[in-house]
A and B are shown apart, each in its own frame.
Chain A
Amino acid sequence: MSSKKMITLKSSDGRIFEVEEAVAQESQTIKHMIEDGYGNSVIPLPNVTGRILYKIIEFCTKHVAVEEDIKQKSVEPTVVVEDVKQKSVEPTVVEDVKQKSVELPVDDDAWDAEPSDIDEWDAQFIDVDESTMFELIVASNYLNIKRLMDLSAQAIADMMKDKTVEEIRKIFNIQNDFTPEEEMKIRNENSWAYE
C-alpha cells in the first residue's frame, strides 16, 4: 500500500497536527491552499485553537472513512420519473392495493436499506457545551467545512429554540440596546409568540 500524503497543520497556540491529505481536504480553505502549492510546508491556522482543531480533525477523519465505505457498497436506484417519450405505451396496472392501519411513521428512515449510523455519531460529536459549539461553528466557517457548519448551526438552533429572550442575551453575551418602551412595543406586537 502506498503511503498517503500527509499535510501538516499548525493551530493558533502552536500545536502541530499531521493529517492525511484526503482528511485535510474536507476543508475547502485548506484544499485551496494545497492547490496553490502550500501543501508541502506547515499550514498555519491562526484562527483555530489546538483544542478545536483536534475535534475538527476527528470529524473530518470519521467522515472521510465513512465516504470510502459507501463507495464500496452498491447504490440503490431511486429514479422514479421517466420522460414520456421514452417509455412504452403500456400503462401500469395497479395491483394489490392494501389498506394499512393508521400509523404515523416517526421518520422516513424506515424506508432506507440501513439506518444512518453516521447521524448518531454526528449527534454525539456535537453534544458539547455551548462555548465549544460556538468555537466549532466559527472554525468550520473559517475552514469552510460545509458538513460541520450545517451540523453545528443546527445544534445551536436546537439549543436556542426553547430559550427566552433574556437567556439568549446571556448566552450570546448581547447588550440589550432597546429602551424598555421600545422593547415593550415589539413584544406587544406579537404577544402570542411569548407564550
Chain B
Amino acid sequence: MVHLSNDILEEVLCRLPIKCLIRFRCVSKSWLALISSPYFVKLHFNRSVQTKRNLRLFKSNLFQVDFDSLHDDDVLQEVKFRNYGFVPKSSCDGLLCMSNTRDTQRVLVWNPSTRRNPSKRWPNTIAEKNYPTTCLGDDFLSMPNVHAIDNVFLWNPSTRKALKLPYASIEIEKQIGLFNAYVYCVYRIGYDNTNDDYKVVRIVILSEPRSFSEYEIMVYSLRSNSWHRLEKFPHCPNWSNFGDCIVGGALHFMSIVKSDLKSENSIVAFDLGTEKCRVLPQPEYNGTPSKLCLDNLGGCLSLSCVYESSIVDVFLLKEYGGMKEHWSRLITLSRTSTFKIFHPLKPIAYSKCGKKVWLNMDDKRLVLYNLEQKSVEEIKDRDRSSTSLLYKYCLESLVTVDVPGTTKIIFGNWIHKEKIFKYAYCCAIQAT
C-alpha cells in the first residue's frame, strides 16, 4: 500500500467525525500526535464550520441532537446527558461553559453578631451553612447562595473532558434594602483570537426592584487558568436584553441610555482580547425601532429590529471590524392575516444549503424563511410536549481544556437514547 504523508493524512482525517478521530488516536504514536496537535484540531474545526457538519443543538436541559445522523435515520435521535444539575450557559468552538441550573439567587441578608436576619423571613439555620459571604452594608453581610459561581466547568462533550474553573468571589458594593435583592450570573465563553485563548466573561448583577442594578465583571483566561476583575463597561448594559452573541472575538450587548427626553439604544462590542469596548454603528432603520435584539447567525452579528409598525427587520453586520463594516438587511417580516409575529424574533441558523434561515419567535413558533423567495416557507408551532424551542448551537470539536496541574474530570455519560417524534423537533433539525 502506498504510504500517505502527514499532509495527505491530515486532509483525510479532517473529514472524519469526532468519534472516529478519538478512536483512531490509539492506532499509533504518530497518529496520536497528529490528531492531538493544535494545528489539526483547528483544521478539523474550521472544516466543520465550513461544511456545517458535526453540529449539535442544545436545549436548556441538555438534550443533544446529532445533525449528521439525521439524514441516515428518519426519526430524530435525541441523546440526554447525565448532567449532574449543570446546564450549558454558553458555547464556543465545541466547548460549553456549564454551571448550576439556577442563574438567579436571592440574596440573604443577615447580621453575623445577632445571627438574625432583619426580615425574619428565613430561618436562622441558614447562618450555619457554609455559604461564601460578601460584605455589603455596615454590620450586615449578605450571603448569596452562590452555587452559580462555585461550580463552573468548561466541558467538551465530544472528548468528555471537563475543567473546573477556579473560584472567584463576588465583590459588589451597593447599599441594598433588606428584601428582594437578587444576584444574577451571566456566563459567556468566546475565543480571543488576539491571544489564541478561550475567555469566559462572568457578569454578576445585583438588583433590587425599584432600584438600579449594580454589577461586576470578571474574565477568565484558559491559558492562565485564572480570573481577573475588570472595570465596569463604559456603557451601561440593558440587562433585560443582554443577548448571547460573541462574534469576531467580542461580546456584544445592547446598551440603553435613558434621559428625560428619550432613551437611546446603542450596540456595544466588548473585545475579549483588548478588553475594550467600542460602539457599533446602527443600521438605517425603516421606521422607529421599538425593540432590538442581538444574535449570532452563522458567525455574523445579527440585529432583529421590531418597529412600532410591528414589522420586523433582521440585519446582518458584514465585514466585521473592517473598514467597510456595514449592516445589510437579510429578512423583513410583516404581519398578515394568517401570519402572526411573536417577539422576540431570534434567528437560530441557516439551513445547510444556506438559502433559508430558521427563526425562533418568542419560543412559540419556529419559522423557516426562504431568502431567495423572500417569503416564509414553513411554520412550526410549539408542541405541547416540547419544553422549549430555544436551541443553541454547538459544534463538535476536539478542543481540549487541558490545564497542567488541574484534575481532569471526565463526565457526561450517555444514559439513554430517546426517539422523539419528528414533529416537535424536526423544524429545528431541518436547519441542516
Contact = CB atoms under 8 A, between A and B. Distances in A.
Contacts of B286: 89, 91
Interface of B: 1-5, 7-8, 11-13, 15-17, 19-20, 22-29, 31-32, 70-71, 74, 159-160, 283-284, 286, 311, 313, 315-316, 318, 326-330, 332-334, 336, 338-339, 351-353, 355, 371-372, 374-379, 410, 413-414, 422-423, 426, 429-430
A102 B425 CA distance: 10
B25 A186 contact: yes
A35 B379 CA distance: 56
A113 interface: no
Contacts of B351: 108
Question: Of residues A89, A92, A130, A183, which shows the largest number of chain B Cβ atoms within 10 Å of its Cβ?
Answer: A92
Given A141-B8, A165-B26, A192 B414 contact: yes
Given A172-B4, A174-B28, 8 more contacts: A94-B375, A102-B423, A102-B426, A108-B355, A138-B4, A160-B16, A172-B27, A190-B23
Contacts of B338: 97
Contacts of B8: 137-138, 141, 153
A70 interface: no
B2 A192 contact: no
Contacts of B22: 190, 193
A26 to B, nearest CB: 18
B336 A91 contact: no
A12 interface: no
Contacts of B31: 174
B27 A104 contact: no
A153 B372 CA distance: 33
Contacts of B329: 81-84, 87
Given A80-B371, A194-B23, A172 B1 contact: yes
A115 interface: no
B80 to A, nearest CB: 14
B374 A92 contact: yes
B68 to A, nearest CB: 11
